[in-house]
Amino acid sequence: MDLDVLIVFGTMLLGGLAFSPIGRAVADRLRGKADHEPNEELEELRDQVAALRAQVAELAERQDFTERLLAQVKKEKALPGSGVDG
């Protein structure tokens, strides 16, 4: 008799789980469906990478400018005939 009760209870439990939101989510996952579009997430990541690239390019330009400015100051401060041309 205990086995019959266990079978009935287990069947009810599995049936309830199958029609619950968790059961539907598991079924969707098994079928290959997802709640969110991976393309949206991918597009967001691409936008972030593009923004980072722009920031890195701007920093590189600023560094180049600073290096040129420092080289110019060093050249102007060098003593004539010291052999320092920049």
- pLDDT by position in tens, the chain (length 86): 677 888 887 888 777 777 788 778 877 788 876 666 678 888 899 999 999 999 999 999 999 999 999 999 888 887 676 665 54
Angle at 70 between CA 69 and CA 71, to 5 degrees: 90
- What pLDDT is stored for residue 34 in this prediction? 61
- The contacts of residue 85 (CB under 8 Å, 6+ apart) are 75
- What pLDDT is stored for residue 69 in this prediction? 92
- What pLDDT is stored for residue 26 in this prediction? 79
- What pLDDT is stored for residue 57 in this prediction? 96
Tokens 């290959």 map to which residue?
32
CA distance 74 to 61: 20
* C-alpha 34, offset from chain centre: 19
Q: Which ranges of 19-83 does DSSP label H, i.e. alpha helix?
A: 21-31, 38-77
Neighbours of 78 (CB within 10 A): 13
- What pLDDT is stored for residue 79 in this prediction? 64
